[in-house]
């Protein structure tokens, strides 16, 4: 896990402390740095650890807890305090906030509420430290340290069937997953006819339908066990095996899954269908960027115009759209300039045409970053990843020679 917030908790009640402990341990984006059973000992505990956030339970002794929060904010104003209590009335919340708490949650703590609260604290400038196993540095509060990779949800949408939407989603995800400071997952949202699992040659034990069936008890640990991981480092949550199971996947459950995956991975790629279903639209709203994949041919470009106009009706979606041209360089009567004039938007990225190499890669279930890392097509995916991340990404050191290449040199 490359993106970790360290948490210290104080709660004299064994029962509620254990409940909170289990919530924290079930989330890979969090690290339980320390726990304490006495309010008066908590200063000593955090002085010997390095939490990013402290959680103070108010219920065992509210006066002591509020006094502790006040002391914490005075001594260390940069350390955010999150108060929790079974009393969710306005008076309890007001007292906690007046004492210096930055956030307040009711007990039992709901995972989504906790993630949102921690995200708000992070957005206020409270950063992250290196992971517990000595990984690379991450975003800090401005006092030094390397920056964390920006978390992104990338939706890949095809202008029609056969434009290479899944190929781009798989190879972009695999390229992002190869980086030491990145972690990437792919969700196949072409629920009826998706084939991301085929492109990666993965036989998954769980699918999106299994996750949707267990959405009420869904936590980070269960969700990560449901993913299948390719040797390139990319994790996959495939579409349902049985078509009748598609109905199990609702917009609200999908948003919950995406929210948890966003917290667990630096990059999440969503391979959408071409049907603009309710789940597709829900996924588009969760995305930070929408890659609209097209080819330089009439039907594809016509659909691009329609899709851009439709998404443009929603300002939040329209500004996310980036046009990606696939298979550029083949026989085509439409120029790049004419395509841009027709669409009314600039082309964000172009992937060269190499149908033979792509088919070899898909048939072997190996993404290009492993199959042909030095190829022009893979270099294009590397460039796309860099453009999305806004930073330089390392290319593979060297390409393994194929059996045929070694034979030819003999």
14: domain CATH number is 3.40.50.2300
The pLDDT value recorded for residue 140 is 37
83 and 173 share a domain?
no
Question: Which candidate, 100, 33, 35, 31, places its Cα nearest to that of 65?
Answer: 100
- How far is it, in rounded angstroms, from Cα 288 to Cα 155? 8
Contact 342, 305 (CB under 8 A): yes
pLDDT tens per residue, range 296-334? 999 999 999 999 999 999 988 999 999 999 999 877 778
Domain count for the chain: 2
Tokens of 122: 């992070």
- Quick check: 124 pLDDT over 70? no
Other CB atoms within a 10 A radius of the CB of residue 158 amount to 26
Say yes or no: 110 and 14 in one domain.
yes
pLDDT tens digit sequence for 76-97: 888 999 999 998 777 788 889 8
Are 24 and 72 members of one domain? yes
Give the burial string for 308-322 (b: 16+ CB within 10 Å, else e): beebeeeeebeebbb
**Are both 114 and 256 inside the same structural domain?**
no
Query: Which residues have a Cβ under 8 Å from the Cβ of 75 and sit 6 or more positions away?
Result: 43
The domain in which residue 166 lies consists of 152-396
pTM, two decimals, is: 0.67
On whether both 304 and 188 belong to a single domain, the answer is yes
State mean pLDDT over 286-295: 96
Looking at the structure, tell me whether residues 221 and 351 fall in a common domain.
yes
- Does residue 113 surpass a pLDDT of 90? no
Percent of the chain with pLDDT over 70: 86
147 has a pLDDT exceeding 50: no
Who wins on pLDDT, 260 or 194? 194
- The more confident residue out of 222 and 254 is 254
Instruction: Based on the fold, state whether residues 178 and 279 are members of the same structural domain.
Output: yes
Residue 300 included in any domain: yes
Instruction: For the chain, state the CA radius of gyration.
Output: 24
Predicted pLDDT at 149:
54
């Amino acid at each position: 896990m490359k993106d970790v917030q360290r948490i210290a908790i104080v709660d004299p009640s064994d029962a509620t402390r254990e409940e909170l402990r289990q919530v924290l341990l079930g989330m890979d984006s969090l690290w339980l740095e320390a726990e304490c059973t006495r309010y008066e000992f908590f200063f000593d505990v955090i002085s010997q650890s390095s939490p990013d956030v402290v959680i103070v339970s108010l219920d065992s002794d509210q006066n002591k807890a509020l006094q502790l929060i006040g002391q914490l904010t005075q001594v260390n104003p940069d350390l955010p305090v999150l108060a929790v209590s079974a009393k969710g009335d306005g008076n309890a919340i007001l007292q906690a906030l007046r004492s210096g708490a930055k956030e307040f949650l009711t007990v039992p703590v709901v995972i989504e509420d906790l993630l949102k609260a921690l995200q708000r604290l992070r957005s206020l400038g409270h950063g992250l430290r290196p992971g517990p196993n000595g990984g690379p540095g991450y975003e800090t509060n401005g006092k030094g340290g390397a920056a964390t990779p920006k978390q992104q949800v990338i939706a890949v949408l095809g202008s029609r069937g056969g434009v290479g939407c899944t190929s781009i989603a798989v190879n972009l995800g695999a390229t992002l997953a190869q980086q030491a400071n990145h972690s990437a997952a792919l969700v196949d949202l072409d629920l009826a006819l998706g084939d991301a699992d085929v492109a990666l040659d993965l036989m998954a034990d769980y699918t999106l339908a299994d996750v949707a069936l267990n959405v009420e008890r869904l936590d980070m640990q269960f969700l990560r066990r449901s993913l299948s991981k390719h040797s390139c480092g990319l994790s996959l949550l495939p579409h349902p095996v049985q078509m009748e199971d598609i109905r199990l996947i609702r917009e609200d459950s999908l948003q919950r899954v995406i929210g948890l995956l966003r917290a667990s991975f630096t990059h999440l790629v969503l391979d959408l269908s071409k049907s603009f279903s309710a789940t597709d639209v829900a996924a588009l709203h969760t995305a930070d960027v929408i890659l609209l994949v097209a080819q330089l041919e009439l039907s594809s470009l016509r659909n691009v115009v329609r899709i851009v106009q439709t998404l443009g009706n929603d300002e939040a979606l329209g500004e996310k759209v980036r046009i990606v041209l696939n298979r550029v360089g083949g026989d085509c009567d439409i120029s790049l300039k004419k395509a841009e004039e027709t669409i009314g938007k600039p082309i964000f990225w172009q992937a060269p045409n190499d149908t033979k190499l792509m088919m070899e890669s898909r048939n072997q279930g190996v993404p290009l970053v492993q199959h042909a890392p030095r190829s022009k097509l893979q270099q294009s995916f590397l460039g796309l990843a860099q453009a999305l991340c806004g930073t330089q990404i390392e290319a593979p050191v060297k390409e393994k020679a194929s059996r045929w290449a070694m034979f030819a040199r003999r």
